[in-house]
Amino acid sequence: MHSDSAELEIFKNLFHSVAEEMGAALRRSAFSPNIKERRDYSCAVFDRQGQVVAMGDHMPVHLGSMPRSVAVAIEALELAPGDIAMLNDPYAGGTHLPDITLVLPIFPIGVRKPLFYVANRAHHADIGGAQPASMGLSEEIYQEGFRIPPVCLARGGKIVPDVMALLLANVRTPREREGDLTAQIAACRLGERRLAELAAKHGIGKIRVYQEALQRYSARLMEEALARIPDGIYRSEDFLDDDGYSNQSLPLRVTIEIRGRLAKVDFAGSAPACRGNVNAVLAITQSAIFYVFRCLLGEDVPACAGLMAPIEIIAPKGSIVNAQPPSAVAAGNVETSQRIVDVLFRALAEALPSRIPAASSGTMSNLSFGGLSPRTAQPFAYYETIAGGMGARPSADGLNGVHTHMTNSLNTPIEALESAYPVRVRRYSLRDGSGGAGRFHGGDGIIREIEFLAEVRGSILSDRHRFPPYGLAGGKPGKAGKVELVLPTRRVLRLSSKISFAAPAGSVLRIETPGGGGWGTPRAQKRRRQT
């Protein structure tokens, strides 16, 4: 059976709709504000070989790295109908410990081997470890939370009670964790039903044809996109502020070689893995590369594994972009992924100056805190990422106060935050003037002030406090980030970009996120040159 171009488009959208519906179900049924309000989750559909064939329009940092989790789960476990694998180990297919991935095989009637796999990944607001919300400073992965190798959370359609009990015994908020995991299970089973319906309607043979055709089609589209980039070698470097333990900046260096319809991305010269937790595992680096090169294509391109076929990746083992155990990695997923994107775009700007935007905020500005709730006398844990400014584009200003690049989440609404946790939001506004000047201005960042109504232990994992988001083509950089803690005594403490802290009730945390870089020479400077 041969594939037809019209039917190929139909199947592309059918598979994508399943991933999207899974995400909608997960969001609606989740317990935590982190998932149902911030939408910190992702869903995808995989073919019988475990290669991704469709992704929901969710979080790039999840989606590009999820195939590794699926591959490891398939290799480690013999999954039967109704089984669901669970894992979060960054060194066994995961990203960082709060991201729990579930994988379910799909066996249509009469099929002995899976025809599909569905998977979803959700960030859990606490997974144990030394700090509430599991996103504090750390020096080794053992401090970061409960580590889950590939195990079966469900067998034959029923949850394995011992596995669930073991997980819930190691987290601060077991009821919320169980609720979010149950939502993930429900999303997987919804995907199973929809794909089984597709197989029954169209036939297994036809499904297989279009699974394979989508991989070939996506690879060809990427090859054509690479062919439009001038052949050459393009280099760039950028820096992380520090690792939270020293003031030493950490370089990320990349060389992108374009030769016809192929690309090679080499991170030789990047910093070695560091003491802190900004180390990224290889899956994160692959995810950032997938995102950047997918941005060179149209929105209607299928997000399949085939997109990466023409791209070779070299990430030195033991470096900050390919960390090895027991390196801590909590911030590698959220901060280093953003810097990898920045350095890749900066290199490509040399090759495609009229297409590449200036740097966006370059940080997810991660905030986490927890303690005992005065309302319930029970532990609580909260986590969010805070938006910043988008970098200016070659033909338009950057957007204000948005999540960019590897995060596609939302800020938690004030009402949801105040109703669920003992806090009061004192200010939530744009940070006027924080975007870089240029022919097109960078977007402004955000100011968020949160008053703690109970004693908390908290953490900040952020970046771009020392190295502001760069401008391009003569555009100016955006303003760097800034964090302050105002104590009840009105003493103001300037916090570093990566820190764990204790705050008494009545303290106010003030976070100012970076603005995006500007693009093009500012118009006022042009006029001065002409006079």
Quick: pLDDT tens for 13-24. 999 999 999 999
DSSP 504: -
* Separation CA 512–CA 449 (nearest Å): 9
Spatial contact of 306 and 334, defined as CB atoms under 8 Å apart: no
For 325-438, list the strands marked E by DSSP. Answer: 366-372, 379-384, 423-431
Q: What is the pLDDT of residue 527?
A: 38
Mean pLDDT of the chain, nearest integer: 94
Region 277-283: mean pLDDT is 96
Residue 78's alpha-carbon distances to 69, 152, 242, in angstroms, are: 15, 10, 42
pLDDT level of residue 529 (50, 70, 90 thresholds): very low
Q: What is the pLDDT of residue 528?
A: 35
This model's pTM is above 0.85: yes
Q: Report the percentage of the chain scoring pLDDT > 70.
A: 98
Q: Tell which residue, 235, 202, 214, 187, has the closest CA to residue 29.
A: 187
Q: Tell which residue, 308, 284, 281, has the closest CA to residue 294.
A: 308
Residue 240's alpha-carbon distances to 42, 106, 447, in angstroms, are: 26, 42, 22
Region 397-409: mean pLDDT is 94
Cβ atoms within 10 A of the Cβ of 200, count?
A: 11
Cβ atoms within 10 A of the Cβ of 31, count?
A: 18
Where helices occur in 30-101 by DSSP H, the ranges are 33-36, 60-63, 66-76
Q: What is the pLDDT of residue 62?
A: 73
Query: Between vectors from CA 377 to CA 373 and to CA 379, what angle results, nearest 5°?
Result: 60
- End-to-end CA gap in the chain: 70
pLDDT level of residue 507 (50, 70, 90 thresholds): very high
Q: What is the CA 69 to chain-centroid distance, rounded?
A: 14
Q: What is the pLDDT of residue 330?
A: 97
Q: Tell which residue, 44, 136, 121, 128, has the closest CA to residue 87.
A: 121
Q: What is the pLDDT of residue 514?
A: 98
Beta strands 379-384 and 492-495: pairing type? unpaired
In the block, tokens 């399949």 appear at 304
* Separation CA 47–CA 195 (nearest Å): 11
Quick check: 58 pLDDT over 80?
Answer: no
pLDDT level of residue 415 (50, 70, 90 thresholds): very high
Spatial contact of 445 and 360, defined as CB atoms under 8 Å apart: no
Cβ atoms within 10 A of the Cβ of 449, count?
A: 17
The residue type found at 123 is H
Secondary structure of residue 124 in the 3-state scheme: coil
Residue 163's alpha-carbon distances to 87, 96, 167, in angstroms, are: 11, 20, 6
Quick check: 398 pLDDT over 90?
Answer: yes
Quick check: 437 pLDDT over 60?
Answer: yes
Where helices occur in 64-137 by DSSP H, the ranges are 66-76
Region 209-216: mean pLDDT is 94
Q: What is the pLDDT of residue 531?
A: 31
* Separation CA 281–CA 283 (nearest Å): 6
Quick check: 63 pLDDT over 90?
Answer: no
Q: What is the pLDDT of residue 1?
A: 63
